[in-house]
Structure 1
Amino acid sequence: MIFIVIPVHNRKSLTRKCLACLTRQTVSNITIVVVDDGSTDGTGEMLRTEFPDAVVLSGDGTLWWTEGTNVGVRYALQNAVAEEENFVLTINDDTEVGPDYVASLLATYSRHKPCLAGSVSVDVAQPESLQYAGMKLNLYSANETYLADSRFQKSYRNLTETTDYIDSDSLPGRGVLIPFEVFENIGLYDTEHYVHYMADVEFTVRAKQAGYRLVISPLSIVYEHVEATALQVNSQLPIRKFWKGLWGRYSPINIPMRYHFAMHHTRTKHLYLMLDVSRIVTGYFLRKLRLL
């Protein structure tokens, strides 16, 4: 059984599109688990009327991505189907997928197991525009190399013409097939230190350190609503918001969150943290200077 876990909050239109895709999969042994974290825009009613077969679990608006996902994972683990290999598939509601999507993830898992099977993502408005295709993470120097840019020049065609699989050093929660044994061996997502961002990265780094490969197939495509992505650290971000983001608990550049990651998963610890924060700050101000 594959339990597709989707945390949602006040994005009814996107949630509807996402679930509609997932109900059309060629694989039949699927249970969709939606964790509705206190939506007030009619998402709950839409789920009940339009997707009656989905399991809907409710939160009070304080779960955010990490605990929302954990709620769905716990449900899955408690409802494992005997005599079957059971999986959790994490995905976000600002995505769409084709009907063979889950089948392609299963094929990747079968070919490379024991592993976590990840996805490439493209812009839903420009499907040739490659957004994610794995990353290389140097646990000494904090250097992050995103292969969509460095190896494939943000071209999905370049990806498909170059390779039929990619080994990555981490995976985002946006389309990852995880066998139950991974949770049994390393635990759930770390809610205490990664409330909303980086929990998926930390979890998959932890899985790799436990001996699981992180493998991506070009055929496992997630169509991403790029405009729905949260805080973007680009030249348009005001300095005040950037500074707030460095300390905000729900920010992708939160320093305490990155401190915990550096102390628990990297080779150089404090040096890694210093290099990581320097990379973020320097990159931001260089983008600002280019506007002058």
Structure 2
Amino acid sequence: MPYIFEKKWDKRMVYVITAVHNRRAITSRFIDYLALQDCSEEIHLVMVDDGSTDGTDLLVKEKYKNSTILYGDGNLFWGGALQKAYSYLISKNISDDDVILYANDDSRLESTFVETLISDLKNNPNDLVTGCAYGLNTGNYLDGPVDFNLENGAVKHLEPGSIGNCASTRALGMYGKVFKDIGGFHPILLPHYASDYEYTIRAFKKGHRIVSDSNLKYLFSEDTTGDNSHSNLSLKKILSKRSKLNPFYKMSFFLMIAPFYKMPKFINYQFRHFKKHERDIGKAV
């Protein structure tokens, strides 16, 4: 059964969505950063605990009362977990002017992050706003808006303050009306990697730009991201649901964002840029 904290006031809410699996210490730190937000709005955490066995849910219940905890069996992965959170919020009839923030639990949000996000959304009410991520270890700019070439699948990471057509869900915000318009995720076709890229490209096609703000900053540790380096690959890793190199999910992603006749260009680009096409998390953009 989900652990649910009911909304008490008829006012705009900020819903922060994250998903966790056996990262108790990392999730605890995420809660600490969330509690330090200097924000006039009420922040409500919607956390999907995908089969944790380390007591993460109990810790969150104790540390952050204003939370809803949903449960998976360990097989939801990122796409499935976000879909579960999406379905939950839709069932709660959230308001069009509520704020939704997707965030990884290893994202260290500056204390002004939520308030800055709200300000950015006021100026861009029909758009998605992505934060700009910097490496905890290196200080390098690592993640933000992306220009995804819908002709061949080329990925270009854009500078902070740019407008793109794609982004990760490491720290991605929008109004409730946009959240409803985009729809949910597709965890069977895209259980993990590329689920966020498909989601934001779909949003862009519906008229919602991916806006960034150089003042909307957060940190994450390069050590806590998934390992998809070529030097450590095996067939088992490549075919894992968590692998961004999985050919089945790559093809699903391509077919979801572009017509079939463009697939030769996408596949050709992948072969020619096999090592360069990764997101290179942990390397400077």
How much does 1:32 deviate? 0.8
- CA-atom RMSD, angstroms? 2.0
Equivalent in the alignment of 2:254: 262
Please say if 1:227 is aligned against 2:227. no
Q: AA paired with 2:120?
A: T
Q: Is the 8 A contact 2:109 2:217 kept in 1?
A: yes
Identity of aligned residues (%): 22
Q: Is the 8 A contact 2:147 2:157 kept in 1?
A: yes
Q: Distance in 2 between matches of 1:255 and 1:64?
A: 17
Say which of 129, 132, 146 aligns to 2:140. Answer: 129
Q: Is the 8 A contact 2:130 2:212 kept in 1?
A: yes
Alignment map for 1:161-240 (pairs within 5 Å)? 165-234=161-230, 237-238=231-232, 240=233
Q: Distance in 1 between matches of 2:65 and 2:106?
A: 20
- How many pairs were matched up? 263
Equivalent in the alignment of 2:243: 251
How much does 1:137 deviate? 1.3
Q: AA paired with 1:100?
A: T
Equivalent in the alignment of 1:43: 56
Please say if 1:66 is aligned against 2:90. no
Say which of 79, 100, 110 aligns to 1:98. Answer: 110
TM-score, scaled to structure 2: 0.85
Equivalent in the alignment of 2:17: 5
Q: AA paired with 2:124?
A: H
Deviations 1:79-105 (A, max 9, x none): 3455x6123211011111111101111
Q: Distance in 1 between matches of 2:145 and 2:216?
A: 12
Equivalent in the alignment of 1:152: none
Deviations 1:228-258 (A, max 9, x none): 1002334xx24x52x4444333211111112
How much does 1:184 deviate? 2.7
Secondary structure of the residue aligned to 1:281 is coil
Say which of 82, 92, 109 aligns to 1:79. Answer: 92
Please say if 1:88 is aligned against 2:100. yes
How much does 1:269 deviate? 2.6
Equivalent in the alignment of 2:26: 14
Q: Distance in 2 between matches of 1:30 and 1:11?
A: 22
Q: Distance in 1 between matches of 2:94 and 2:192?
A: 29
TM-score, scaled to structure 1: 0.83
Where does the alignment leave 5 or more consecutive residues of structure 2 unmatched?
1-12, 278-285
Q: AA paired with 2:62?
A: T
Identify the structure with the greater helix proportion: 1
